[in-house]
Structure 1
Amino acid sequence: MIFAGQAGLGTADRGPYIPSPSSFEIPPMFEIAGLGITKPMLLLALSVPLIAGVLWSASRHAAVVPGRLQFAGEMAYGFIRTIGRDNIGSDHFVKFMPYLVSAFFIIVVNNYYGLIPLLQFPTFSRIGFTAAIALFTWLLYNGVGIAKHGVLGYFKLQTMPAGVGGPILFVLVPLEFFSNIIVRPFTLALRLFATMFAGHLLLILFSMGAAYLAFDLGGLYILAGIGSGIMFIAIGFLEILVMFLQAYVFTLLTAIYVGGALADEH
């Protein structure tokens, strides 16, 4: 089994292949105008027509009595719609649904790439991709907040909790500014990146460990290899849940931040 472009399983003479951050350093597959195109870049690009095609297929023959694909599409959209309505508010959430739906499906599809044979790479285990989508969210909620309240009004809303005054503001205002304006995009990016990175690293560890113990060492080590293989399967099933939860958490926090930016009180 090949993960993250690594072909060596190790041998009894050289020792096992040791997974590390270098397992995620994939060389470019080809170049376009001097730009190296890597596997994660291709996977991310592939997810766009894939998502658009599935959503278009689910909605193009909309009927009062939905078919299975339309029903699945409506269930997924309704799930995200509930997140938006509950956290942004019924008066404003509709205009943000395109972004929430796009973010959710982009993250879900690119996360699940890590479990698909031959692809086997979660795109968001690369910090550059998570940083980009977190930046879009940061620009969105700050932009709508400034548009509604003005620059000074928005920063007052984000840094001065309602009902608080006096000298304590000298402490609270910098802390609130740091927390609400500076830290949020970093936590959004790092949470998604770290979860996908760690999960994929564990899958590499136990799959490569199972292969090395069972096929390279043999003997009684086969039992340890079987145990490692069982752990690989168990973590794979756990990752199915974690990959979905990360998309849900990112979408939920985006909706919460947008709702907070539009609110009249902090």
Structure 2
Amino acid sequence: MTTTAILPAPPGGATTRESDLNTVDDAVLLAEGEDTFFHVPSISEFYPPAILFDGTPFEFNRVQLVRLIVLLAVLLTMGIIASRARLVPGKAQSIVELMIEFVHKNIIENTLGLREGRRFAPMLITMFFAILAFNLAGVVPGLNLAGTSLIGMPLVLALWTFATYVIAGVRKHGVAGYLKHETMPPGVPKPIYLLLIPIEFLQVVLIRWGSLTIRLLANMVAGHIMLVVFIGITHALLFSGSWLMAIAPLSGALAIGIYGFEIFVAALQAFIFTMLSAVYIQMATSDEH
């Protein structure tokens, strides 16, 4: 199969046709127009046109639609499983219970202990399931975009963590006591506090939740871009009409590998985000560092 696409004329006035291209690099140059050989992904993938309320603060686009679908799917699934819960669980109930037990034992109890863990378990379990579901939307056919691949959702989740550990710390130590607890660790020579206090304060009020946001966002953006690149290259090679078709199976195998790796990263990032949230809460509510 051969396609013919006209490229913009070079300075000399000659016209370049796709049939003259001999390499993948040359073929990629055709990605500028609608009749493209290979679609080059860009950051615009994450800023789709509005579906409703264009040009207003309430703009609703594909990203919000994906988030809404995921949210409804999770609530509906959990509601059905909870309504049909049995003493001897079925497959779906067993999977959910195993996941909750995993989060409870490996994150909550190991970090916060039994007593404090009970207080924050609802928040941390909800956070884990929400992040996992939004992350996995990126590998679901028809959605193909993680709900956490735009900064809004990671930022909201990170600020939820920030508000939780600050409020918990203030309740435990009082305002002044909490600030001292976080910025003046014991056993440090007093002159060092001049340097340490501003750094620790900045870490509490900015760096912790900022790093949570950027880590989750960057991983989901990178994963989406990699998937689009390899799937697009595979499609381009298959329909190139040249010897490059022979490379398509290798590119396709890499795309499948990245697809599986993206599922692993989606689960890993949910675990890391929830674990760090628990650690920050533990640091705020502990008696000493």
User: How far apart, CA to CA, are the structure 1 residues paired with 2:201 and 2:32?
Assistant: 50
**Max Rg structure:** 2
Residue 89 (str. 1) matches residue 113 (str. 2)? yes
Q: Within 2, Cα distance between the matches of 1:248 and 1:172?
A: 30
In structure 2, relative to structure 1, the CA distance for the partners of 1:10 and 1:167 (3 Å cut) is closer
Residue 44 of structure 2 corresponds to 22
Distance of 2:185 and 2:168 partners within structure 1: 19
Distance 1:10 1:213, change over 3 A: farther
Q: 2:83: which partner in 1?
A: 60
Alignment match, 2:9: none
The residue type equivalent to 1:123 in the other structure is G
Alignment partners' CA distance in 1, 2:260 and 2:55: 40
Point out the more displaced range, 60-69 or 202-211.
60-69
User: How far apart are 1:67 and its partner, in Å?
Assistant: 1.8
Distance across 1 between alignment mates of 2:178 and 2:246: 61
Deviation per CA, 1:92-120, whole angstroms, max 9, x where unpaired? 11121121111111111111111111111
Aligned to 1:4: none
Deviating more after overlay: 123-132 vs 171-180 = 171-180
Q: Contact between 1:59 and 1:73, CA under 8 Å: does it hold in 2?
A: no
The answer to whether residue 274 in structure 2 is matched with residue 251 in structure 1 is: yes
TM-score (structure 2 length as normaliser): 0.83
CA distance, structure 1, for counterparts of residue 37 and residue 90 of structure 2: 54
Cα RMSD, aligned residues only? 2.2
> Which residue matches 1:239?
262
Aligned positions of 1:43-192 closer than 5 A? 43-82=66-105, 83-192=107-216
Q: In structure 2, what residue type is equivalent to 1:37?
A: F
Q: Structure 2: how far apart are the matches of 1:77 and 1:198? A: 28
Select 1:196's aligned residue among 197, 213, 220: 220
In 1, the alpha carbon distance for the partners of 2:271 and 2:150 equals 19
Q: Distance in 2 between matches of 1:43 and 1:101?
A: 21
Unaligned runs of 5+ in 1: 1-7
Q: Please, which moves more after superposition, 120-129 or 243-252?
A: 120-129
Secondary structure of residue in 2 paired with 1:63: coil
Q: Which residue does the alignment assign to 2:59? A: 36
Q: Which amino acid aligns with 1:168?
A: I
Question: 5+ residue gaps in structure 2?
Answer: 1-29
What percentage of aligned pairs have identical amino acids?
33
Residue 9 of structure 1 contacts residue 16 of structure 1 at CA under 8 Å; is this kept in 2?
yes
Kindly indicate whether residue 243 of structure 2 is the aligned counterpart of residue 220 of structure 1: yes
Counterparts in 2 of 1:9 and 1:236: CA distance versus 1, 3 Å: farther
The CA deviation string for residues 207-243 of structure 1, in whole angstroms up to 9 with x for no partner, is 111111221x222111222222211111001111110
Q: When the two structures are aligned, how many residues end up with a matched partner?
A: 258
Higher RCO (Cα < 8 Å, 6 or more apart): 1
Q: State how far apart, in whole Å, the 2-side matches of 1:9 and 1:117 are.
A: 23
Instruction: Look up the equivalent residue of 1:244 and give its one-letter code.
Output: A
Displacement after TM superposition at 1:9 (Å):
7.2
